[in-house]
Amino acid sequence: MELDWEFMEETLPKVWAGAGVTMELTLLSLLLALPIGFYLAVIRLHGCKTLQGIVRSYVSFVRGTPIVLQILLLYSLLPSVLNVLVQAMGWQINIFEAVDPFWYAVVVFTINTVALLAEVFRSALNSIPRGQMEAGLAIGLSSLQVYLRVIIPQAMVVAMPSICNITVNLVKGTSLAFLMTVKDIMAIGKIAASFGYNYLEAYIDVFFVYLVLCTIIQIFYHLVEGRIGAFRGKRA
């Protein structure tokens, strides 16, 4: 088997340039999903029965269906819905050209990540003993203060490894954004691959870039975990 090394060397920087889009997509989805996911987790724990049921079905549906189907569905749904809305408002915008598919991708991955984060936050909040809240209230803090200063800092440490997992999976998941014509790592690799039929070489480049990205993310989370978990003291 002859790998075309020259082609791989040429393609690697091009593919690497797509890492920006991949990371933007990941970070934006994650930042949007964090507050919503947390809110849903609080609803799951303290909300009324109906809301709890809605959140539970939402989480179950998103976690029970492949992300590729979510992408295909929303990518055929969102543009038409937006179009109807825009026309109802009487604006003269061609939605199909005006909106970068990147934003559809952000919506899809946010919807997906919200469900995953809601579960993580729920179990993290559950893991903090009830006594922490009672102790906080007993020394005269308001329940919001107890949440912000006592419960959330501890819950975050518990949730961090899972959030790291979710981030890594999100980076990997964004490789499917090429189905929405977003020009990320995978899409650039795919274009390079079909240009000269160098499929294997191009995808090995893509594989390599993802490996580097994931390594960086895991090192980052490792540092963050050490920082926010500092109150627990040194661990073996």
Partner 1 sequence: METRVFDVSMLWQSLPALLEYLDVTLLVGISSICLGSLLGGLLAYGKLSRNPAGRYIAHGYTYIMRCTPSIVLLFIVFYGLPQLAEALFDWEIDDWHRGIFAVITFTLLFGAYISEVFRAAYEAVDKGQYEAAVSIGLSPWQSVWQVMLPQAAVIALPNFGNAVINLLKEGALAYTIGLIDLIGKGNLIIAQNFGAYGLEIYLACMLVYWVMTLAIEQGFNKLENYLAKG
Q: How far is the CB of 79 from partner 1 (least distance, A)?
A: 10
> Residues 64, 131, 140, 233: which binds partner 1 (CB under 8 A)?
64
Task: Name the minimum Å distance from CB 230 to partner 1.
Answer: 26
Binding partner 1 by CB under 8 A: which of 45, 51, 54, 73? 73
Among 23, 43, 72, 152, binds partner 1 (CB under 8 A): 72
Q: How many Cα atoms sit within 13 Å of 155 on the Cβ side?
A: 26
Site string for partner 1, 123-162 (x = CB under 8 A): ----------------------------------------
Side-chain-side CA neighbours of 204 within 13 Å: the count stands at 11
Q: For 80-114, b where at least 16 C-beta lie within 10 A, e where not — what string? A: eebeeebeeeeeeeebeeebebbebbbebbbbbbb
# of chain residues touching partner 1 (CB under 8 A): 38
Interface with partner 1 (CB under 8 A), residue from 45, 54, 63, 100:
63
Task: Candidates 120, 150, 176, 192: give the one binding partner 1 (CB under 8 A).
Answer: 176
**Mask for 178-217, x = binds partner 1 (CB under 8 A):** --------x--x---x-----xx--xx-xx--xx-xxx--
The answer to the question of residue 12 lying near partner 1 (CB under 8 A) is no
Kindly state the DSSP code that residue 198 receives in the 8-state scheme: -
Stretch that binds partner 1, among 35-43, 48-56, 70-78, 155-163 (CB under 8 A): 70-78
Compute the C-alpha angle 120/177/191, nearest 5°: 145
Q: Which residue, 148 or 212, has its beta carbon nearer to partner 1?
A: 212
CB contact at 8 A, 173 and 67: yes
Q: Identify which of residues 36 and 214 has a Cβ nearer to partner 1 in the complex.
A: 214
Helix axes 19-46, 49-64, angle to 10 degrees: 150
Out of 175, 191, 225, 229, name the contact with partner 1 by CB under 8 A: 175
The verdict on 67 binding partner 1 (CB under 8 A) reads yes
Residue 182's Cβ-side half-sphere holds a number of Cα atoms within 13 Å equal to 33
Q: CA 151, CA 147: separation in Å to the nearest integer? A: 5
- For the chain, strand residue ranges (E) read none
Q: How many helices (H) and strands (E) does the chain have?
A: 11, 0
| Residue pair 164/85 in contact by the 8 Å Cβ criterion | no
By CB under 8 A, name the binding residues for partner 1.
Answer: 1-2, 60-61, 63-70, 72-73, 76-77, 80, 83-84, 168, 172-173, 175-176, 186, 189, 193, 199-200, 203-204, 206-207, 210-211, 213-215
